[in-house]
C-alpha cells in the first residue's frame, strides 16, 4: 500500500476521492480524480502513449465499452472471469475466499484454484466471518462481468468490457486489411474497464471501474526472434524474479534469452521497454521486478506471464501484466465469428494466425504508485517540506507563475506573463493567493517543476526569478529569454543547472 503520507497528500489536495462521496450509500470501488489529479493522470497516459506506442511505431484505437455476449463467449470470460466467493451464513457478508485465506497465511495463493481447494483451506485454517465470527458457506465462482440489457422489447445481452484489450483483437482484421501496417506491430488502447469486485478495497489498487493502458504486440510466430532494434536493448538488464529460486536476477536481455528464461526476442524486447517505461516514472530499478507466474496463477489464455511489480513498503504491487497470449485471441474470435483471421506475409510459406504479446497496465494503480515513489519529505530546520519529485513530463503543470504581491501592478504583470507562456504551449499554474512561501509549497506538493516569481525588480528590468522545485535553487532570467529556456528544457537540450547563476 502507498504510505500514509501519500494518501494524506492525495486527500488534502483532492487528487482522487470516492465517487458520490456526499451520499451516505456511495458504493465502494469507484473513484473520481480532482482537477490536479486529472492533470497528473493525463500526463501519465500521454507519457505512456509517447514511449510505448508512438516511439515504437505503434498505432492506437478507441473502442466501445459495451460489447456483445458472443465476444466474451469467445474470449472465455463468460466461463472463466470469476472470483471465488464465500458468504457468511449469518450476516450474509460476501468475501473473496482467496483473500480471506491470504490474510490468514500472509502470502498469496492462486485466485484461479478450485472451489474445493478454497473450502478445504477455510476448514483447515478455521476461518470464520471476520465480522461476527460465524461460519462461512461453501465457495462458489462469481463472474465479475457487469451485464447490460440492450434495446427495448426483445433485448439482447451485452457486457461492460472487463479489460481494454478485446476491441484490439476484434479490430485487428480491419486494421490489417487497410494495408497500412506490417508485423510486428503494437496496437494500443487506453480505456475503461469494469469488474464487479466482490469486496473492493485498498483505494485505487482494486476498483470496480478502472482504466487500462494496453499494448498488444501482433507478430509472426515464425519470426519471434526478429527484432529490428535488438541492439538498443540487448545489454539492458531486466529485473527477473524467477520461480526456480524465488530471487530477483538482474540479467541482460541477451542473457535472459540465451538461458531460455524468456521465449523469444520479441517478448524480451517488450519486457525491456516496459521496464524502461516504469523506471522513467522515477521508480527506482531495485523496486521493480518481473515476477514469473506459475501456470495456476496465470490468466487462462497465457502461455507465459510476467507481472511487473513495484515494491511499496514491504509488499509488491502488480502494475502491469505481460502475457504471451499466443494465437488464442484471434483463433477463438475467428471460431466464434466463423471467419478466417489468418494472414499471409511475404517470406512465410503458409498462412498463420498472428501471435500476441500483451503489456496491460492499470492506470489508477500506476498513478498511485507513481505518487508514492515520488513523494519526498525533507526536514528544513523546524519546518518540514513536502514535495512530489515528478519528472517534468509527468508534472501537472510545466511552470507556476506568482506575483510577489498582488499590488503595485505585479499581479497584472504576472497574469500577462502566464497568458504569454500558455500561448507557447506551456501548462501554467497562476496563483496569487497567500504568502509566496505558501504558494511555493502548494506547487511543490503537486510536483510543478518550475516557478516564476514576478517582483519589483521585474518592473524595472523585465527579469524574473526562476525556481527549480527539487533543489529550490533560484536564478534571475530575462523575461524575453523564457521561451527559449523552456524550449530547451522540453527538448532536453539544456537543464536548469546549465543556466547562468
Ligand atoms: Zn458474518
The pLDDT tens digits for 31-63 are: 999 999 999 999 999 999 999 999 999 999 999
pLDDT category of residue 264 using cuts at 50, 70 and 90:
very high
Which helix (H) or strand (E) is 478 found in, with range?
Answer: strand 474-478
Which helix (H) or strand (E) is 127 found in, with range?
Answer: none
Distance 20 CA to ligand 1 centre (A): 27
Contact 33, 15 (CB under 8 A): yes
pLDDT of 409 strictly over 90: yes
Of 185-189, 271-275, 301-305, 325-329, the poorest mean pLDDT is in 301-305
pLDDT category of residue 354 using cuts at 50, 70 and 90:
very high
pLDDT at 430: 98
Distance 87 CA to ligand 1 centre (A): 8
Mean pLDDT value across the chain: 94
pLDDT of 296 strictly over 80: no
Distance 16 CA to ligand 1 centre (A): 31
pLDDT digits (tens, 9 = 90+) for 181-205: 899 999 999 999 999 999 888 889 9
Cα 240 from Cα 251, distance rounded (Å): 7
Distance 61 CA to ligand 1 centre (A): 45
Cα 392 from Cα 339, distance rounded (Å): 47
Cα 460 from Cα 23, distance rounded (Å): 54
pLDDT of 491 strictly over 90: no
Q: Are strands 146-150 and 140-143 parallel, antiparallel or unpaired?
A: unpaired
pLDDT category of residue 294 using cuts at 50, 70 and 90:
confident
pTM across the whole model = 0.94
Distance 126 CA to ligand 1 centre (A): 14
Distance 2 CA to ligand 1 centre (A): 29
Q: Is the dihedral of CA 188, 318, 387, 284 positive or negative?
A: negative
Question: Longest Cα pair distance anywhere in the chain, in angstroms?
Answer: 80
pLDDT at 353: 97
Cα 392 from Cα 491, distance rounded (Å): 11
pLDDT at 299: 77
pLDDT at 107: 83
pLDDT at 279: 98
Contact 160, 145 (CB under 8 A): yes
pLDDT of 14 strictly over 80: yes
Distance 135 CA to ligand 1 centre (A): 8
Distances (CA, A) of 55 to 72, 179, 215, 229: 32, 20, 13, 12
Cβ-Cβ contacts under 8 Å for 299 (sequence gap 6 or more): 305, 321, 323
pLDDT category of residue 492 using cuts at 50, 70 and 90:
confident
Q: Cα-atom radius of gyration of the chain, to the nearest Å?
A: 26
Distance 198 CA to ligand 1 centre (A): 15
pLDDT digits (tens, 9 = 90+) for 467-490: 999 999 999 999 999 999 999 998
pLDDT category of residue 381 using cuts at 50, 70 and 90:
confident
Q: How is the beta sheet containing 94-96 ordered, strand by strand?
A: 94-96, 82-87, 140-143
pLDDT digits (tens, 9 = 90+) for 145-182: 999 999 988 889 999 999 989 999 999 999 999 877 89
Contact 79, 429 (CB under 8 A): no
pLDDT digits (tens, 9 = 90+) for 85-143: 999 999 999 999 999 999 999 887 877 788 999 999 999 999 999 999 999 999 999 99
Distance 140 CA to ligand 1 centre (A): 17
Amino acid at each position: 500500500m502507498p504510505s500514509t503520507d501519500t494518501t494524506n497528500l492525495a486527500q488534502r489536495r483532492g487528487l482522487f476521492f470516492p465517487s458520490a462521496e456526499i451520499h451516505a450509500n456511495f458504493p465502494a470501488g469507484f473513484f473520481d480524480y480532482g482537477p490536479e489529479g486529472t492533470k497528473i493522470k493525463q500526463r501519465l497516459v500521454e507519457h505512456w502513449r509517447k514511449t510505448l506506442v508512438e516511439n515504437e511505431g505503434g498505432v492506437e484505437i478507441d473502442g466501445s465499452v459495451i460489447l456483445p455476449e458472443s465476444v466474451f463467449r469467445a474470449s472465455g470470460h463468460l466461463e472463466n472471469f470469476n472470483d471465488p466467493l464465500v458468504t457468511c451464513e449469518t450476516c450474509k457478508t460476501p468475501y473473496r475466499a482467496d483473500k480471506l485465506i491470504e490474510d490468514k497465511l500472509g502470502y498469496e495463493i492462486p485466485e484461479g484454484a478450485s472451489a474445493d481447494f478454497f473450502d478445504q483451506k477455510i476448514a483447515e485454517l478455521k476461518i470464520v466471518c471476520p465480522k461476527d465470527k460465524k461460519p462461512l458457506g461453501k465457495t462458489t465462482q462469481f463472474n465479475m462481468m457487469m451485464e447490460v440489457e440492450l434495446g427495448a422489447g426483445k433485448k439482447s445481452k451485452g457486457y461492460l468490457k472487463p479489460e481494454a484489450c478485446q476491441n484490439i483483437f476484434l479490430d485487428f482484421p480491419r486494421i490489417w486489411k487497410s494495408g497500412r501496417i506490417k508485423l510486428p506491430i503494437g496496437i494500443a488502447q487506453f480505456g475503461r474497464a469494469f469488474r464487479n469486485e466482490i469486496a473492493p478495497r485498498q483505494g485505487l489498487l482494486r476498483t470496480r471501474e478502472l482504466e487500462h493502458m494496453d499494448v498488444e504486440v501482433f507478430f509472426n510466430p515464425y519470426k519471434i526472434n526478429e527484432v529490428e532494434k535488438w541492439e538498443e536493448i540487448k545489454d539492458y538488464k531486466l529485473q527477473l524474479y524467477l520461480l526456480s529460486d524465488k530471487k530477483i536476477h538482474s540479467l541482460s536481455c541477451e542473457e535472459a534469452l540465451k538461458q531460455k528464461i524468456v521465449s523469444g526476442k520479441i517478448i524480451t524486447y517488450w519486457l525491456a521497454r516496459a521496464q524502461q517505461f516504469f523506471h522513467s516514472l522515477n521508480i527506482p530499478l531495485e523496486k521493480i521486478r518481473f515476477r514469473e507466474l506459475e501456470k495456476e496463477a496465470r490468466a487462462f489464455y497465457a502461455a507465459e506471464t510476467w507481472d511487473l511489480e513495484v515494491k511499496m513498503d514491504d509488499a509488491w504491487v502488480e502494475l502491469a501484466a505481460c502475457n504471451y497470449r499466443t494465437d488464442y485471441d484471434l483463433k477463438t474470435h475467428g471460431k466464434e465469428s466463423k471467419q478466417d483471421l489468418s494472414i499471409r506475409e511475404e517470406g512465410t510459406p503458409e498462412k498463420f494466425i498472428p501471435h500476441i504479446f500483451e503489456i496491460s497496465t492499470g492506470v489508477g494503480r500506476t498513478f498511485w504508485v507513481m505518487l508514492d515513489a515520488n513523494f519526498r519529505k525533507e526536514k528544513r530546520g523546524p519546518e518540514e517540506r513536502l514535495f512530489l519529485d515528478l519528472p517534468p513530463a509527468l508534472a501537472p503543470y510545466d511552470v507556476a507563475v506568482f506575483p510577489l504581491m498582488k499590488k503595485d501592478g505585479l499581479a497584472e504583470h504576472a497574469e500577462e506573463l502566464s497568458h504569454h507562456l500558455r500561448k507557447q504551449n506551456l501548462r501554467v499554474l497562476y496563483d496569487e493567493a497567500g504568502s509566496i512561501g505558501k504558494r511555493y509549497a502548494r506547487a511543490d506538493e503537486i510536483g510543478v517543476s518550475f516557478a516564476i516569481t514576478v517582483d519589483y525588480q521585474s518592473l524595472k528590468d523585465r527579469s524574473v526569478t526562476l525556481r527549480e522545485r527539487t533543489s529550490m535553487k533560484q536564478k534571475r532570467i530575462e523575461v524575453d529569454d523564457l521561451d527559449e529556456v523552456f524550449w530547451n528544457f522540453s527538448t532536453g537540450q539544456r537543464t536548469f543547472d546549465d543556466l547562468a547563476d
